[in-house]
Structures are given as structure tokens and as C-alpha cells.
Amino acid sequence: MTANGRNAPKPAFGKRAHGLWLAPFLPYDGPMMDNASPFMEALALIMRLDPVFLGIVALSLRVTLTAVCLTALIGLPLGALLAVSRFPGRSVAIVAINALMGLPPVVVGLTFFLLLSRSGPLGGFGLLFSPSAMIIAQASLVLPIVIALTRQTIEDLWANYREYLQSIGMGPKQAIMTLLWDARFSLATALLAGFGRATAEVGAVLIVGGNIAGVTRMMTTAIALETSKGDLALALGLGIILVGITLMVNALAFGMSRIGVRHAG
């Protein structure tokens, strides 16, 4: 990172680090503020709206929001379809999707790395090391969650609504629209859960994105990189923002269910 003139001369370093865990809180010879702990430097970075820093946050949000939107487009109808349909092997499908929720992100990353590489079957699109690849990887991670939660919610609602909807002549396929809208608050919570998972993950996007500066460097991968470079201030700053976003998402999910009950019963 050259945004702050990291090549400036540093004063002599005279402290002893009592183990790695203490490092963030000890004074260190960072370039901006002498004898300021990385934590304070991190806060300064945030306050200053450092452009590289902001770029990383913006990219992360863009990638994750796009991934969640894609997941919603595919996962909500699929989950609802699974909920109302009856076909042989349905139980197997449900178990499989539930199991996929726990898919290790690095496995997803590796799979898409092999698929999207120029030497792989989908190489023609040239998607490896691009934000699109990260969007695809994150969407794949979140999709099972959305499908499984949607299926559960819609199935419960369908049990409640089925007789009534059938009595006015609505078939299962048409009912999906009604069910999805009526379950909107629970589904929004499911999407927020997916968002939370995508935001927190680092393995998949690191492998398929390549952590390229300014192009595929997201909050989580940047934290990994800056930590390995020993630049704890930036890592901490990003970490603070990341935790902040996670808290906000959870607050939103909570608020949503409350609003839902209050406004629609």
C-alpha cells in the first residue's frame, strides 16, 4: 500500500512484543502516528476515508450484494418449488441441499478455480481472477442456504394455505408467487443470513479472485494479506468495518421480523 507513503523513515524500534496477540495494542512505529497503536491508526484510517480502503469496502459490498441478488433470483423460486412439489427423490434432494449448506468455502473456491481456469471447461469466458468469478463463488456458497431456508418456510406456509388456495382453484405452481410474497419477511431474513455468510468468507474469493489490488481485493482477503505483511492497522480497520457490517445485517434481520409481525401479522 503506497497510499500513505509507507517508505517514510521509521524511528528505532525499541519495544518487545510479548506475543503476537498483544501486538495490536502496543505502540508501534507506523508511518502516520509515532507511538500510536495499530488500533488507533485503524480508526484514523476509517475517519480519513482513505480511498484505497474505501475501494476495498465498496468492492466487497458490490460483489456480495450482487451474489445475494443472484441467489435470490434462483434460490427463492427453487426453494418454493421444492416446498410445494412432490416427486420421487424429494427427500434425497432436501437432505442434499441441507448438507450443501455446510460446504467448505475453500472447496467451492477450488472447484470454480478448476472450472473457470483457461485450462478448464468454462475457461473460454476468461472469468478467473475477476470480480465475476468471486460473485459466482459466493453465490454458490449462499445458494444452498437460501434454498433450504426458503423450502422450510414455504413448506410450513403451504401446509397452512394449501386447502384455501386449492379451494379458489390455485394449483401448486401458481401458488408459489402467493407463498413467496406472504413469506417475504422470513425470506428477507434468509437472504440476510446468506449475506452474512458471504461477507465473512475468505477462502473461495481468495482462490478464484487472486486478491488483485484494486480489482479483486475484498475486505476479508485484504485482511489476510495485510496481516501477513504485518500491516496490522489496515487489517484492523477493515476488520472493524467488517464486524460493523455484520452487526448491521443482524440488526436488520431482527428489525425485519419485528416489523413484519407488526405490519402484516
Partner 1 sequence: MLRWFGVVIASLGLLAGQPAQAQERFITVASTTSTQDSGLFDHILPLFTQKTGIQVRVVAQGTGQALDTGLRGDADVVFVHAKAQEQKFVEDGFGLKRFAVMYNDFVLIGPASDPAKINGVKDIASALQAIAAKGSPFVSRGDRSGTHAAELALWKAVGIDPAKPQAGNPQGGNQNWYREIGQGMGAALNTAMAMEAYVLSDRATWLSFKNKGTLQISVEGDARLFNQYGVMLVNPAKHPHVKAQNGQAFVDWLVSPEGQAAIGQFKIDGKQLFFTNAGQQGA
Partner 2 sequence: MIHPMSFEVKTGRRLVVLGPNGAGKSLLLRLCHGLLQPVAGQVHRNDHHPAGRRAHAMVFQMPVMLRRSVFDNVTHALATVGVPSAQLRSRAVEALNRFGLTGFSERPARLLSGGEQQRLAIARAWALRPDLLFLDEPTAALDPSATRLIEAMLGDLHAEGVTLMMSTHDLGQARRLADDVVFLASGSLVEASEAKQFFNDPQTQQARAFIAGDLVW
Nearer of residues 13 and 164 to partner 2, judged by Cβ: 164
Give the shortest CB-142-to-partner 2 separation in angstroms: 25
Nearer of residues 170 and 252 to partner 2, judged by Cβ: 170
For residue 86, the partner it binds in partner 1, partner 2, none, with Cβ less than 5 to 8 A by kind, is: none
Give the shortest CB-250-to-partner 2 separation in angstroms: 23
For residue 210, the partner it binds in partner 1, partner 2, none, with Cβ less than 5 to 8 A by kind, is: partner 1
Q: Could you say whether residue 20 binds partner 1 (CB under 8 A)?
A: yes
Give the x/- contact pattern for partner 1 in 63-102, rule: CB under 8 A.
---x--xx--xx--x-------------------------
3-state per-residue secondary structure call for 197-245: HHHHCCHHHHHHHCCCCCCCCCHHHHHHHHHHCCCHHHHHHHHHHHHHH
How many residues make contact with partner 1 (CB under 8 A)?
Answer: 46
Cell representation of residue 188: 428477507
| DSSP annotation string for 17-75 | --SGGGGGGS-B--SSSTTB-HHHHHHHHHHTT-HHHHHHHHHHHHHHHHHHHHHHHHH
Residues numbered 213 to 232 that lie near partner 1 (CB under 8 A) are 213, 215, 225, 227-232
Give the x/- contact pattern for partner 1 in 97-126, rule: CB under 8 A.
--------------------xxxx--x-xx
Query: Amino acid letter at 198?
Result: A
CA of 40: how far to CAs of 225, 232, 238, in Å? 20, 11, 13
Give the shortest CB-181-to-partner 2 separation in angstroms: 8
For residue 178, the partner it binds in partner 1, partner 2, none, with Cβ less than 5 to 8 A by kind, is: partner 2
Nearest to 10 by CA among 36, 30, 35: 30
Give the count of alpha carbons within 13 A of 156, CB side only: 9
